[in-house]
Amino acid sequence: MSDKLTEIMAWKRREIAPLLRTVAESELSQLDARLPRPPSFAAALRRTDGRLAVIAEIKRRSPSAGDIKAGASSLDQARRYQAAGADALSVLTDEKFFGGTLDDLRGVTTHFRTTAPAIPCLRKDFMVHPIQVLQAREAGASAILIIVRALTDEEITVLAAAATAAGLDALFEIHTEPEIGRAVRHGAKIIGVNNRDLAIFKTDLALSERLIPQFPRDIIAISESGISSRIDAARARAAGAQAVLVGEALMRSPDPAALVAEFRSA
Protein backbone atom coordinates (compact mmCIF):
# COMPACT_ATOMS: atom_id res chain seq x y z
CA MET A 1 0.00 0.00 0.00
CA SER A 2 1.27 3.50 -0.80
CA ASP A 3 2.29 5.95 1.90
CA LYS A 4 -0.62 8.29 1.11
CA LEU A 5 -3.14 5.47 1.01
CA THR A 6 -1.73 4.14 4.28
CA GLU A 7 -2.21 7.59 5.80
CA ILE A 8 -5.77 7.87 4.51
CA MET A 9 -6.78 4.40 5.67
CA ALA A 10 -5.27 4.96 9.12
CA TRP A 11 -7.24 8.18 9.43
CA LYS A 12 -10.44 6.52 8.23
CA ARG A 13 -10.15 3.79 10.84
CA ARG A 14 -9.72 6.43 13.55
CA GLU A 15 -12.56 8.50 12.16
CA ILE A 16 -15.15 5.73 12.25
CA ALA A 17 -13.94 4.15 15.52
CA PRO A 18 -16.59 5.93 17.64
CA LEU A 19 -19.33 4.55 15.36
CA LEU A 20 -18.27 0.92 15.41
CA ARG A 21 -20.75 -1.72 16.49
CA THR A 22 -21.81 -5.12 15.28
CA VAL A 23 -23.78 -4.86 12.04
CA ALA A 24 -25.35 -8.20 11.18
CA GLU A 25 -26.22 -9.12 7.62
CA SER A 26 -29.81 -9.60 8.79
CA GLU A 27 -29.93 -5.95 9.88
CA LEU A 28 -28.72 -4.88 6.47
CA SER A 29 -31.24 -7.11 4.71
CA GLN A 30 -34.06 -5.68 6.79
CA LEU A 31 -32.87 -2.16 6.02
CA ASP A 32 -32.82 -2.98 2.32
CA ALA A 33 -36.37 -4.31 2.48
CA ARG A 34 -37.59 -1.24 4.33
CA LEU A 35 -36.03 1.50 2.19
CA PRO A 36 -36.87 2.49 -1.40
CA ARG A 37 -34.90 0.43 -3.92
CA PRO A 38 -32.06 2.47 -5.46
CA PRO A 39 -31.41 2.19 -9.22
CA SER A 40 -28.92 -0.51 -10.20
CA PHE A 41 -25.33 0.67 -10.57
CA ALA A 42 -24.30 -2.42 -12.54
CA ALA A 43 -27.23 -2.18 -14.95
CA ALA A 44 -26.46 1.47 -15.68
CA LEU A 45 -22.98 0.54 -16.87
CA ARG A 46 -24.26 -2.01 -19.38
CA ARG A 47 -25.36 0.43 -22.07
CA THR A 48 -27.66 -1.14 -24.63
CA ASP A 49 -26.14 0.92 -27.46
CA GLY A 50 -22.68 -0.51 -26.81
CA ARG A 51 -21.17 2.90 -26.15
CA LEU A 52 -18.92 3.77 -23.22
CA ALA A 53 -20.78 4.48 -20.00
CA VAL A 54 -19.74 7.57 -18.02
CA ILE A 55 -19.57 7.68 -14.23
CA ALA A 56 -19.41 11.38 -13.34
CA GLU A 57 -17.76 12.17 -10.03
CA ILE A 58 -18.52 14.91 -7.54
CA LYS A 59 -15.11 15.79 -6.12
CA ARG A 60 -14.20 19.17 -4.62
CA ARG A 61 -10.56 18.38 -3.96
CA SER A 62 -8.04 15.55 -3.79
CA PRO A 63 -4.59 14.94 -2.29
CA SER A 64 -3.08 14.88 -5.79
CA ALA A 65 -4.89 17.84 -7.41
CA GLY A 66 -5.58 20.03 -4.38
CA ASP A 67 -8.69 22.19 -4.77
CA ILE A 68 -10.61 21.23 -7.90
CA LYS A 69 -13.86 23.14 -7.34
CA ALA A 70 -13.81 24.35 -3.75
CA GLY A 71 -17.21 25.03 -2.25
CA ALA A 72 -19.08 23.42 -5.15
CA SER A 73 -22.68 22.46 -4.42
CA SER A 74 -23.06 18.70 -4.76
CA LEU A 75 -26.70 19.12 -5.73
CA ASP A 76 -25.95 21.69 -8.43
CA GLN A 77 -23.18 19.46 -9.79
CA ALA A 78 -25.50 16.44 -9.75
CA ARG A 79 -28.07 18.40 -11.74
CA ARG A 80 -25.41 19.31 -14.30
CA TYR A 81 -24.39 15.67 -14.62
CA GLN A 82 -28.02 14.62 -14.88
CA ALA A 83 -28.57 17.11 -17.71
CA ALA A 84 -25.36 15.88 -19.34
CA GLY A 85 -26.74 12.34 -19.47
CA ALA A 86 -24.24 10.71 -17.11
CA ASP A 87 -24.98 7.01 -16.61
CA ALA A 88 -23.99 6.98 -12.92
CA LEU A 89 -22.52 9.27 -10.31
CA SER A 90 -19.64 8.82 -7.90
CA VAL A 91 -20.05 10.95 -4.78
CA LEU A 92 -17.04 11.50 -2.52
CA THR A 93 -18.08 11.31 1.12
CA ASP A 94 -14.64 11.61 2.72
CA GLU A 95 -14.29 15.06 4.28
CA LYS A 96 -10.67 15.28 5.43
CA PHE A 97 -8.98 14.47 2.12
CA PHE A 98 -11.69 15.09 -0.49
CA GLY A 99 -14.05 17.67 1.00
CA GLY A 100 -17.16 15.50 0.77
CA THR A 101 -19.78 14.36 3.29
CA LEU A 102 -22.57 11.82 3.62
CA ASP A 103 -24.97 14.75 3.36
CA ASP A 104 -23.72 15.29 -0.20
CA LEU A 105 -24.72 11.74 -1.08
CA ARG A 106 -28.00 11.98 0.79
CA GLY A 107 -28.96 15.21 -0.93
CA VAL A 108 -28.12 13.92 -4.39
CA THR A 109 -30.01 10.64 -4.04
CA THR A 110 -33.03 12.44 -2.59
CA HIS A 111 -33.05 14.68 -5.65
CA PHE A 112 -32.92 11.70 -7.99
CA ARG A 113 -35.90 10.09 -6.25
CA THR A 114 -38.07 13.02 -7.35
CA THR A 115 -36.71 13.68 -10.85
CA ALA A 116 -36.04 11.63 -13.96
CA PRO A 117 -33.88 9.99 -14.91
CA ALA A 118 -32.95 8.40 -11.59
CA ILE A 119 -29.19 7.94 -11.67
CA PRO A 120 -27.40 5.37 -9.46
CA CYS A 121 -24.80 6.74 -7.07
CA LEU A 122 -21.60 5.15 -5.83
CA ARG A 123 -20.54 6.03 -2.30
CA LYS A 124 -16.87 6.87 -2.97
CA ASP A 125 -15.07 6.51 0.34
CA PHE A 126 -12.50 4.37 2.08
CA MET A 127 -14.63 1.49 3.32
CA VAL A 128 -13.38 -0.64 6.19
CA HIS A 129 -16.46 -1.72 8.17
CA PRO A 130 -20.11 -2.73 7.56
CA ILE A 131 -21.31 0.36 9.48
CA GLN A 132 -20.22 2.37 6.43
CA VAL A 133 -22.27 0.07 4.19
CA LEU A 134 -25.29 0.70 6.41
CA GLN A 135 -24.66 4.45 6.12
CA ALA A 136 -24.43 4.15 2.35
CA ARG A 137 -27.75 2.29 2.08
CA GLU A 138 -29.48 4.75 4.40
CA ALA A 139 -28.13 7.63 2.29
CA GLY A 140 -29.57 6.13 -0.90
CA ALA A 141 -26.41 4.79 -2.53
CA SER A 142 -26.58 2.08 -5.18
CA ALA A 143 -22.99 0.88 -4.72
CA ILE A 144 -19.94 1.05 -2.48
CA LEU A 145 -16.21 1.08 -3.20
CA ILE A 146 -13.88 -1.72 -2.08
CA ILE A 147 -10.20 -0.78 -2.52
CA VAL A 148 -8.52 -4.17 -2.75
CA ARG A 149 -4.98 -3.05 -1.93
CA ALA A 150 -6.15 -1.26 1.22
CA LEU A 151 -7.90 -4.21 2.87
CA THR A 152 -7.23 -7.69 4.18
CA ASP A 153 -9.02 -10.64 2.62
CA GLU A 154 -11.15 -10.93 5.74
CA GLU A 155 -12.19 -7.27 5.50
CA ILE A 156 -13.05 -7.65 1.82
CA THR A 157 -15.16 -10.73 2.56
CA VAL A 158 -17.09 -8.89 5.26
CA LEU A 159 -17.63 -5.74 3.17
CA ALA A 160 -18.71 -7.68 0.08
CA ALA A 161 -21.20 -9.73 2.10
CA ALA A 162 -22.52 -6.57 3.75
CA ALA A 163 -23.04 -4.91 0.38
CA THR A 164 -24.93 -7.93 -0.93
CA ALA A 165 -27.12 -8.05 2.17
CA ALA A 166 -27.88 -4.35 1.82
CA GLY A 167 -28.82 -4.71 -1.85
CA LEU A 168 -25.82 -2.72 -3.06
CA ASP A 169 -23.36 -3.36 -5.86
CA ALA A 170 -19.65 -3.26 -5.05
CA LEU A 171 -16.98 -1.67 -7.22
CA PHE A 172 -13.68 -3.45 -6.56
CA GLU A 173 -10.82 -1.06 -7.26
CA ILE A 174 -7.47 -2.55 -8.27
CA HIS A 175 -4.05 -1.27 -9.33
CA THR A 176 -1.92 -4.40 -9.91
CA GLU A 177 -2.22 -7.81 -11.56
CA PRO A 178 -2.35 -9.80 -8.29
CA GLU A 179 -5.26 -7.64 -7.16
CA ILE A 180 -7.33 -8.84 -10.12
CA GLY A 181 -7.14 -12.37 -8.75
CA ARG A 182 -8.02 -11.21 -5.25
CA ALA A 183 -11.07 -9.31 -6.51
CA VAL A 184 -12.29 -12.25 -8.58
CA ARG A 185 -11.84 -14.67 -5.69
CA HIS A 186 -14.09 -12.41 -3.62
CA GLY A 187 -16.83 -12.58 -6.25
CA ALA A 188 -16.32 -9.19 -7.88
CA LYS A 189 -18.76 -8.39 -10.68
CA ILE A 190 -17.47 -4.83 -11.26
CA ILE A 191 -13.75 -4.05 -11.26
CA GLY A 192 -12.19 -0.65 -11.77
CA VAL A 193 -8.55 0.01 -12.61
CA ASN A 194 -7.27 3.08 -10.80
CA ASN A 195 -4.78 4.52 -13.26
CA ARG A 196 -3.34 6.77 -10.55
CA ASP A 197 -0.51 5.39 -8.42
CA LEU A 198 -1.12 6.89 -4.99
CA ALA A 199 2.50 6.26 -4.04
CA ILE A 200 3.83 8.85 -6.49
CA PHE A 201 0.63 10.46 -7.80
CA LYS A 202 1.47 9.46 -11.36
CA THR A 203 -1.42 8.67 -13.67
CA ASP A 204 -0.90 6.29 -16.58
CA LEU A 205 -3.70 5.01 -18.82
CA ALA A 206 -1.39 2.23 -19.94
CA LEU A 207 -2.32 0.50 -16.69
CA SER A 208 -5.91 0.03 -17.87
CA GLU A 209 -4.60 -1.12 -21.24
CA ARG A 210 -2.49 -3.75 -19.53
CA LEU A 211 -4.86 -4.96 -16.80
CA ILE A 212 -8.40 -4.84 -18.25
CA PRO A 213 -7.68 -7.45 -20.96
CA GLN A 214 -6.84 -9.84 -18.10
CA PHE A 215 -10.31 -9.55 -16.53
CA PRO A 216 -12.74 -12.46 -16.83
CA ARG A 217 -15.16 -11.80 -19.69
CA ASP A 218 -18.22 -11.43 -17.47
CA ILE A 219 -16.70 -8.61 -15.39
CA ILE A 220 -17.87 -5.03 -15.89
CA ALA A 221 -14.59 -3.18 -16.45
CA ILE A 222 -14.08 0.46 -15.50
CA SER A 223 -11.11 2.73 -16.18
CA GLU A 224 -10.68 5.31 -13.41
CA SER A 225 -8.56 8.49 -13.26
CA GLY A 226 -6.70 10.28 -16.02
CA ILE A 227 -9.63 10.44 -18.46
CA SER A 228 -9.96 13.97 -19.80
CA SER A 229 -10.45 13.71 -23.58
CA ARG A 230 -11.98 11.61 -26.33
CA ILE A 231 -8.54 10.13 -26.99
CA ASP A 232 -8.24 8.98 -23.38
CA ALA A 233 -11.73 7.48 -23.47
CA ALA A 234 -10.95 5.74 -26.76
CA ARG A 235 -7.87 4.14 -25.22
CA ALA A 236 -9.94 2.86 -22.29
CA ARG A 237 -12.64 1.56 -24.62
CA ALA A 238 -10.09 -0.20 -26.85
CA ALA A 239 -8.67 -1.89 -23.75
CA GLY A 240 -12.10 -3.36 -23.01
CA ALA A 241 -13.56 -0.85 -20.53
CA GLN A 242 -17.34 -0.61 -20.51
CA ALA A 243 -17.22 2.58 -18.43
CA VAL A 244 -14.95 5.41 -17.40
CA LEU A 245 -15.03 7.19 -14.06
CA VAL A 246 -14.23 10.88 -14.48
CA GLY A 247 -13.95 13.45 -11.72
CA GLU A 248 -11.49 16.30 -12.18
CA ALA A 249 -12.11 16.92 -15.89
CA LEU A 250 -15.89 17.05 -15.46
CA MET A 251 -15.71 19.16 -12.30
CA ARG A 252 -13.57 21.74 -14.10
CA SER A 253 -15.49 21.65 -17.38
CA PRO A 254 -17.76 24.61 -18.20
CA ASP A 255 -19.82 22.21 -20.36
CA PRO A 256 -20.07 18.70 -18.83
CA ALA A 257 -22.62 17.62 -21.44
CA ALA A 258 -20.17 18.25 -24.28
CA LEU A 259 -17.45 16.35 -22.45
CA VAL A 260 -19.73 13.38 -21.68
CA ALA A 261 -20.73 13.29 -25.36
CA GLU A 262 -17.04 13.38 -26.30
CA PHE A 263 -16.30 10.39 -24.08
CA ARG A 264 -19.27 8.49 -25.50
CA SER A 265 -18.09 9.08 -29.05
CA ALA A 266 -14.87 7.18 -28.34
Which residues are the active-site residues? 57, 59, 124, 173, 194, 224-225
d(CA 19, CA 176): 32
Exposed / middle / buried, residue 116 (Cβ in 10 Å: 0-12, 13-18, 19+):
exposed
220-249 in b/e burial notation, b at 16+ Cβ within 10 A?
bbbbbbbbbebebbebbbebbbbbbbbbbb
C-beta of residue 194 within 8 angstroms of C-beta of residue 2? no
Angle of the 74-84 helix axis to the 102-114 helix axis, nearest 10? 40
Helix/strand/coil (H, E, C) string of 146-158? Answer: EEHHHCCHHHHHH
Cα-atom radius of gyration of the chain, to the nearest Å? Answer: 17
d(CA 6, CA 21): 23
Residue at 146: amino acid letter: I
